[in-house]
Structure 1
Amino acid sequence: MIGEAGLDGRHFPSPVQPPGTPIVELVDVSRLYPNGETVVWALDRVSLSIMPGEFVAIMGQSGSGKSTLMNIVGCLDRPSSGQYRVAGVDVAGLDPDALAHLRCASFGFVFQRYNLLPSLTAAENVEIPAIYAGLPRERRVSRSHALLARLGLAERAEHRPSQLSGGQQQRVSIARALMNAAPVILADEPTGALDSRSGEEVLALLTELNAEGHTVILITHDAEVAAHARRIVRFQDGHIVSDEPTPRAALPPPSAPPKPAGHLQGRGGLARFVPDLAEAVRMAFASMYANLFRTVLTLLGIVIGVASVITMLAVGDGGKQQVMERIAQIGTNLLIVRPGAAGIRTSGDNATLLPEDADALRAIPGLGAVAPERTGRYTMRFGSEDYFTQITGTTADYLAARDWPMERGVMFSADDVKAYAPVLVLGQTVARNLFGEDDPIGRYVLVKNVPYQVIGILGARGANAFGQDQDDVALVPLSTGFVRVFGRRFVNSVTLKVDDAANIPAVEREITRILTERHQTEDFQVRNTAQFLETAVATQETLTLVLGCVAAISLIVAGIGVMNIMLVSVTERTREIGIRMATGARMSNIMLQFNTEALVVCGVGGAVGVVLGLGAAVALGALGVNIVLSLLPPLLAFGCAFLTGLIFGYLPARKAAGMDPVVALAYE
């Protein structure tokens, strides 16, 4: 047996055979079809040999078994029993891919109903067998146009089947059968749907092809059509009733068999996969264009899913960034000591934390700043303007502890704290409400009828993580606050800034030790702002994940829609699948085609969704919503869309690839 290596290295049968070997040989072949509790014998122990270069007519009435014979001869169907050999190769042991290779290399089909794909041009229909044979695009385009020109259709090459007459469509079908230079042409009632003139032209073409060396097997019920053959085999009830030569058998013998068209059968790996994939993508776009409205509806689900993922993640990341910025304003390396035991709620003032405690804590190594604080809300007056705000008594370390810059003026010093100086540093909100556009530096304001000089203005901070205006504050020296504002000498909190975040646990333990020794009880609590930051970030990430999951659900729903549409497409295109299989498409080719169509739909939808999602995020940003755009969400969303096409396109593709060629071709 002479053969060629297939895509996976297996040995596939070739149309070339040793001299004297029949090109087609059936030995006691039977084909049974279950029919309820009985069986129908479409073929009953049929034996037939056809030599290379013969022109054989298989003749019989409807139901005689001739079409079943053609399906078995063309490797579209398998016999129930007996042996069938092509060029000496027994097809019984061949798997579907090997049979597809055999059809591609050995047989050209001419169908009664032409079986042209309506979405392709005449030239593209002719190219189909060469696509599955691996012929490069440039060569198959050139060959398809040459064949159409030979058959008188050069001017109609770019017309679709609906723009061709019946005779022209059948000539396109013949050109397709010749595309791979297959040695055997199977013509099933090729004149059945044609007028007498077109029928004569088709029969003349078959006769000419036989004279050039092609083996022609003609299936017909018409004696006049069968008379064009050199040999007539008559069928009745699944049996051969006669096998006789015709007067044309005396004509000169045909030429040598045609030479192969120079295909790439035997190339594997990327050398074959890349062009196959390129063709699948091209066919996918053609299919999408042919069903444009349905494609748009399918794309809509993917577009909405991808766009919502990108938009929601941009909003979620924006919210996360905003929270992070506000928390960062508090400080991330801070430990805050508050009075009262942990877990015990207190009301009113708690006087357990004293300024001396803050002084004792300054001895802990690794601290950058220690700022005791006492706060309260009081009315400030400038001229006729009154403003109720928060007054905080603290020390000169307050700004360092809070990483809070001055806008202008100065912060009071340690000497001011010691001297009980009546000075104020105002937040932006207080300064604006009391002084408007005037410069408050050097002016005096009244607190409890005591004048304080404004010596500085704090930089703007905005709202904190809880939405409170941080600029609505006035700072006074802690000592001054005790004497002239608050009345009692204790603090509400002590803020400690740790130089290195890695030392926070050790510093926290030392704080607990010192204060426990001083108070003889643990009547305080230490809060770690780093832990607060971690909690806030974790919460925000959870919210972002929830938003992303909600958006991802829409992608899943869209994927189910894609799968549904693809399943409908497989059903609608069942006959197309049969045609492709008859012209040499393997299961992998069909799988690749339909999977690629799903991937193209999802890929195009994903790209459009990325653009719309980014546009929606930018629009929200223009409306004042805090957003963050980064590369990861679009890549993630597009990747999910692509993966959706791969996953949800698999089942329809598998269904298409698993079809029986005979059943698919007979589908209406």
Structure 2
Amino acid sequence: MVSGASAAAPPLIALTGVRKRYGGGSSGQPETEVLHGIDLEIRAGEFVAIVGQSGSGKSTLMNLLGGLDRPSAGHYRFEGRDVASLDPDALARLRREAFGFVFQGYHLIASETARENVELPALYAGLPPPARADRARALLARLGLADKTEHRPHQLSGGQQQRVAIARALMNGGRVLLADEPTGALDSASGAEVMALLHQLADEGHTIVLITHDRGVAEQAHRVVEIRDGRIVADGPGPGAASSTSAASAAAGGTQAATAPMPPGSPGPARAWHADLGEAARAAWRGMGRNRLRTGLTLLGIVIGVASVIVMLAVGEGARQRVVQQMGTLGTTIMYLGGSAPAEGGPPGRITDEDLSAIAGLPDVAHVMPVIGDPIPVRRGRLERQVYVFAAEWFMPRVHQWPLAQGRFYTEAEDRALTPLVVLGHRAKAHFFPGDPDPRGRQLLIGDSPFEVIGTLAERGAESGAQSYDDMVFIPYRAGRARVYRVQTQPDYTVVAAASPRQVAPAEAAIRRLLLARHGRADFEISNAAARLQAEAQTRRSMTMMLGLIAAVSLVVGGIGVMNVMLMTVRERLREIGIRMAVGARQRDVQRQFLTEAVLLTLAGGVAGVLAGGITGAVLVASGVPVVFSVRAMAGAFACALATGLVFGWAPARSASRLDPVVALAGD
């Protein structure tokens, strides 16, 4: 009972015609009505016991009072506000600011210490970490647990766990304490201690609603409400009502609402996102540690995926660059030009010196190099061989990107002066000068003209199965026409080098237009070697991308593993989710926690995958495999791992946030 002043005050809690049904509608389950038109008022400062047998509806009523559930019909008003109209986040705020829950099964989070369990409501209220830690320690000390603050629930007795639960209920002020069978799982001594605490809190001005099936426990309250088959059948003062005057007076005078009110200046709904994220990461890390084997196996999928992407792209890029380097010696800007018979008939066309001068003046053309070459006898002493003698301009090594191994190449002035000089291919040197490390200054008879050896070219090999360039010898173009190929009136073909790989196609088009304008017919042929080489490089690039995509499949598989693990984690931690919701966690708080756990999982896998990819690449390099690591590829693989956590962790996290608090609390 309450005093007259208190009775005149508006009720803190008012239920009018409240009904609760389960099933029916689209659920496919038969409809069951648990509460049948409950009318109940509770004023601030009252110590009320709701007593009834199992199945009477008392726990359902408590869930409605605490905002864990909603009535199917009727009205529930808290401080005059209709609770049924509140959205999930508003209900979470109501639970956080007004209610504290004390459950029969304690409902402590197993991975958190006593202090961290007590801090939980203040975490969701946005209280800074130092302030909430101090407050939690003070509450635990007040309840006789000063030396147990860093103990985990399994290290505490049942009575101690229940005291931790009471401290948690008081963390945000505990204006209304909802105690559901708080002594049901305790021995008689521990139960007596808990009831003594509740009496003390009631005397200090807290509103206590005690749910019990034990008539003896209920009669310790100041008011006893009996519920049977979903209906209130009795409501009157209990034997403890005589001691209620001071509490009621305190309530009427302004509600001395909390033994330990929230510290001044504690933040409201606006909370620092980084603090929330840090707390979510801490809880997620502990959650990952609960099942290390499963976490490790899930990480392995991410590690393999990230490492595969990095290694595959590195190997592919290494192979591509090696091919490009090899092709570069063949000339990535080169086209071959020669006369040919026109399609409409007539004599073959001729590429004249004037044509070549005009082509050299085109802006996209860097070099024009006429070439004459045929196999002819080359002699040194008694040694004679048929050798392809390559007569070309002085800039031939630049056009073909072909370095010298020894000596020098002839100059433009020497070419114009018809100086008889020769540069040997790698194998031609071995043919004519076996055992001689430096043949420079020696003579070769090419045809019937002597030529002086001035250098040798680096080893090159053959192009597309043609004769090996290393077997050839190279002489100045003009000296070749004057001394060797005397009857040759035009080059066999002309090598045209574009200014850059990007200018090959424009250069080819410009040459066609020029020659068509000069000849009046298409009596020439242009073979675009650069286009073939670039197509080969593009093919290699495509192969690299394909390898990367194949490797990315394993990353996706790893992501599916993350989703599977997170779904299992949500099922295993239903009760923890319910506890967090009961103490005031919003849907986005729960979603953030589980999404953070998924991202943290893939973050750890991504870091390990980058390291594994680097180690694997180092082993391949040591084995002679061409490997080119790309910082972009590594960053991309790492980013994909994080994205995998977000994408595949979102559905389980959303599933967790949409759980019904009552269902979650009842989960195993």
TM-score, structure 1 as length reference: 0.87
Query: Are 1:261 and 2:262 counterparts?
Result: yes
Q: In structure 2, what is the Cα distance between the partners aligned to 1:484 and 1:512?
A: 33
Residue 162 of structure 1 deviates from its aligned partner by 1.4
**Counterparts in 2 of 1:419-498, with a 5 A limit?**
423-431=421-429, 434-435=433-434, 438-444=437-443, 452-459=451-458, 471=470, 473-478=472-477, 489=488, 491-498=491-498
Amino acid at match of 1:544: T
Change over 3 Å in CA distance of 1:597–1:468 after alignment to 2: farther
The residue number in structure 1 matching 2:352 is 357
> Contact 2:421–2:451 at 8 Å: present in 1 too?
yes
Identity of aligned residues (%): 46
Q: In structure 2, what is the Cα distance between the partners aligned to 1:161 and 1:184?
A: 24
> Contact 1:361–1:514 at 8 Å: present in 2 too?
no
Amino acid at match of 1:253: S
Amino acid at match of 1:60: G
Change over 3 Å in CA distance of 1:85–1:512 after alignment to 2: closer
Q: In structure 1, what is the Cα distance between the partners aligned to 2:608 and 2:469?
A: 43
The residue number in structure 1 matching 2:3 is none
The residue number in structure 2 matching 1:14 is none
**Counterparts in 2 of 1:529-568, with a 5 A limit?**
529-568=529-568
> Contact 2:298–2:565 at 8 Å: present in 1 too?
yes
Amino acid at match of 2:369: A
Aligned to 2:543, the other structure's residue is in SS state: helix
**Structure 1 stretch displaced more, 286-295 or 391-400:** 391-400
Aligned to 1:30, the other structure's residue is in SS state: strand
Query: Are 1:276 and 2:276 counterparts?
Result: yes
Query: Are 1:643 and 2:610 counterparts?
Result: no
Residue 306 of structure 1 deviates from its aligned partner by 1.1
Q: In structure 2, what is the Cα distance between the partners aligned to 1:219 and 1:368?
A: 94
Change over 3 Å in CA distance of 1:465–1:547 after alignment to 2: farther
Pick from 20, 25, 32 the counterpart of residue 31 of structure 1: 20
**Counterparts in 2 of 1:308-327, with a 5 A limit?**
308-327=308-327
Amino acid at match of 1:438: P
Change over 3 Å in CA distance of 1:28–1:499 after alignment to 2: closer
Structure 2: gaps of 5 or more residues: 1-5, 251-255
Aligned to 2:337, the other structure's residue is in SS state: strand
Pick from 139, 143, 154 the counterpart of residue 135 of structure 2: 143
Amino acid at match of 1:357: T
Superimposed CA distance per residue, residues 338-370 of structure 1 (whole angstroms, 9 cap, x where no aligned partner): 4546999xxxxxx9687x735641244245543
> Contact 1:353–1:492 at 8 Å: present in 2 too?
no
Aligned to 1:113, the other structure's residue is in SS state: coil
> Contact 2:281–2:593 at 8 Å: present in 1 too?
yes
Residue 323 of structure 1 deviates from its aligned partner by 3.1
Pick from 144, 148, 151 the counterpart of residue 156 of structure 1: 148
Change over 3 Å in CA distance of 1:472–1:211 after alignment to 2: farther
**Structure 1 stretch displaced more, 160-169 or 94-103:** 160-169
Q: In structure 2, what is the Cα distance between the partners aligned to 1:341 and 1:208?
A: 113
Amino acid at match of 1:266: G
Amino acid at match of 1:274: H
**Structure 1 stretch displaced more, 285-294 or 464-473:** 464-473
Residue 600 of structure 1 deviates from its aligned partner by 0.8
**Counterparts in 2 of 1:5-84, with a 5 A limit?**
20-34=9-23, 39-84=31-76
TM-score, structure 2 as length reference: 0.87
Change over 3 Å in CA distance of 1:415–1:111 after alignment to 2: closer
Change over 3 Å in CA distance of 1:514–1:227 after alignment to 2: closer
The residue number in structure 1 matching 2:591 is 591
Q: In structure 2, what is the Cα distance between the partners aligned to 1:587 and 1:211?
A: 35
Change over 3 Å in CA distance of 1:477–1:79 after alignment to 2: same
The residue number in structure 2 matching 1:392 is 390
> Contact 1:320–1:541 at 8 Å: present in 2 too?
yes
Change over 3 Å in CA distance of 1:159–1:417 after alignment to 2: same
> Contact 2:504–2:531 at 8 Å: present in 1 too?
no
Residue 100 of structure 1 deviates from its aligned partner by 0.7
**Structure 1 stretch displaced more, 465-474 or 252-261:** 465-474
Q: In structure 2, what is the Cα distance between the partners aligned to 1:603 and 1:343?
A: 65
Pick from 404, 410, 414 the counterpart of residue 412 of structure 1: 410
Aligned to 1:362, the other structure's residue is in SS state: helix
Aligned to 2:71, the other structure's residue is in SS state: coil
The residue number in structure 2 matching 1:178 is 170
**Structure 1 stretch displaced more, 30-39 or 588-597:** 30-39
The residue number in structure 2 matching 1:580 is 580
Change over 3 Å in CA distance of 1:430–1:124 after alignment to 2: farther
Aligned to 1:29, the other structure's residue is in SS state: strand
Residue 607 of structure 1 deviates from its aligned partner by 1.4
Q: In structure 2, what is the Cα distance between the partners aligned to 1:645 and 1:597?
A: 9
Q: In structure 1, what is the Cα distance between the partners aligned to 2:385 and 2:170?
A: 96
Residue 618 of structure 1 deviates from its aligned partner by 2.9
Change over 3 Å in CA distance of 1:264–1:336 after alignment to 2: farther
The residue number in structure 2 matching 1:618 is 618
Q: In structure 1, what is the Cα distance between the partners aligned to 2:409 and 2:7?
A: 105
Pick from 355, 369, 372 the counterpart of residue 370 of structure 2: 372
Q: In structure 2, what is the Cα distance between the partners aligned to 1:539 and 1:209?
A: 78
Q: In structure 1, what is the Cα distance between the partners aligned to 2:587 and 2:316?
A: 45
The residue number in structure 2 matching 1:300 is 300
